[in-house]
Amino acid sequence: MIAAGRTVLLTGGGGIIGRAMTVELAKAGHRVAVVDRDLALATAAAQQVDSTAAKPYECDITDRDALIDLRDHVGSALGPVSALICNAAAKSENFFDPFPEFPLQDWNEVMATNLTGPMLCAQIFGEPMAEAADGVIINVLSIYGIVAPDQRIYDGSEYEGRPINTPAVYSASKAGLWGLTKYLASYWGSVGVRVNAVTPGGVFSGQNETFVAAYSQRTMLGRMAQPEEIASATAYLMSEGAAYVTGQNLVVDGGLTAW
């Protein structure tokens, strides 16, 4: 017998925010297919909860055939997917290169995961939801798809020993994903598939003090986000409490984009 809740396909489930989403969604009674191109990360995320609540899957979301196989595997293990969270995002090898010499190969690689991947996922997992007249899709954006990064906060900023910035491809891919979100909300609204976005602000994950201080000052709440604070917004959009919410962007950024 299938328990209450949805079968959720969560991409990038092995990452910082994906791990927190796995816990939050399992807590809300959903079954989570934790999908990542790194199986070890997906497995670690799934192991945080009961084995009936989450299962790990290795899949590159830019590979259409692999997504079709994934739909079959998840369907037989957890039941038909009725919720999709497109959370995966890629950091290519030269991700932090300056704009003028940013390699085209890196541009294409990031676009493929951040924008084309969610489109493919929507084709493969959204269409059956439309046929079943029930489903929820959530795309994970970024504040830098809404506003430009303040270049001044990257002075002296480091993460894992490397200088960091936000490349143009990241902003462009996330802005595009917001366009796709609204398009799909309109396309499938009349058949009961809700499509929304969650926009996280910067999540603390070990950035150096210089960055944390400079970033925190840009927010109204004076701090970075915790992954759980993004996960709970996703769980809300998935819930019956959000039954009349579609085509919206829930911005969880401590106020950064509001002033």
Ligand X SMILES: NC(=O)c1ccc[n+]([C@@H]2O[C@H](COP(=O)([O-])OP(=O)(O)OC[C@H]3O[C@@H](n4cnc5c(N)ncnc54)[C@H](O)[C@@H]3O)[C@@H](O)[C@H]2O)c1
Query: Which residues would be at the binding site for ligand X (CB under 6 A)?
Result: 11-12, 14-18, 36-38, 41, 60-62, 87-90, 113, 117, 140, 142, 200, 202-203
Q: Is 159 a catalytic residue?
A: no
Nearest residue (CB) to ligand X, 1 versus 169: 169
Nearest residue (CB) to ligand X, 33 versus 140: 140
Nearest residue (CB) to ligand X, 28 versus 233: 233
Which tokens is 256 given? 């950064």
242, 195 Cβ separation under 8 angstroms: no
Nearest residue (CB) to ligand X, 33 versus 41: 41
Find, among 212, 203, 107, 239, the residue nearest to 153 by Cα.
212
Beta strands in the chain (DSSP E): 7-11, 31-36, 54-58, 83-86, 135-140, 158-159, 162-163, 193-200, 249-252
Nearest residue (CB) to ligand X, 18 versus 126: 18
Which tokens is 124 given? 């493969």
Strand order in the sheet with 249-252: 54-58, 31-36, 7-11, 83-86, 135-140, 193-200, 249-252
Q: Which residues pair with 232 in a beta bridge?
A: none
- Spatial distance between the Cα atoms of 255 and 201, rounded to a whole number of angstroms: 9
Which tokens is 165 given? 């910035």
Rounded to the nearest whole angstrom, what is the least distance from the CB of residue 114 to ligand X in the complex? 7
Tokens 């995320």, located at residue: 45
Rounded to the nearest whole angstrom, what is the least distance from the CB of residue 29 to ligand X in the complex? 23
Catalytic position from the list 144, 170, 215, 244? 170
The SS3 assignment for 181 reads helix
Rounded to the nearest whole angstrom, what is the least distance from the CB of residue 15 to ligand X in the complex? 2
Rounded to the nearest whole angstrom, what is the least distance from the CB of residue 115 to ligand X in the complex? 11
Rounded to the nearest whole angstrom, what is the least distance from the CB of residue 203 to ligand X in the complex? 4
Closest residue to bound ligand X by CB:
15
* Residues annotated as catalytic (active site), given as ranges: 170
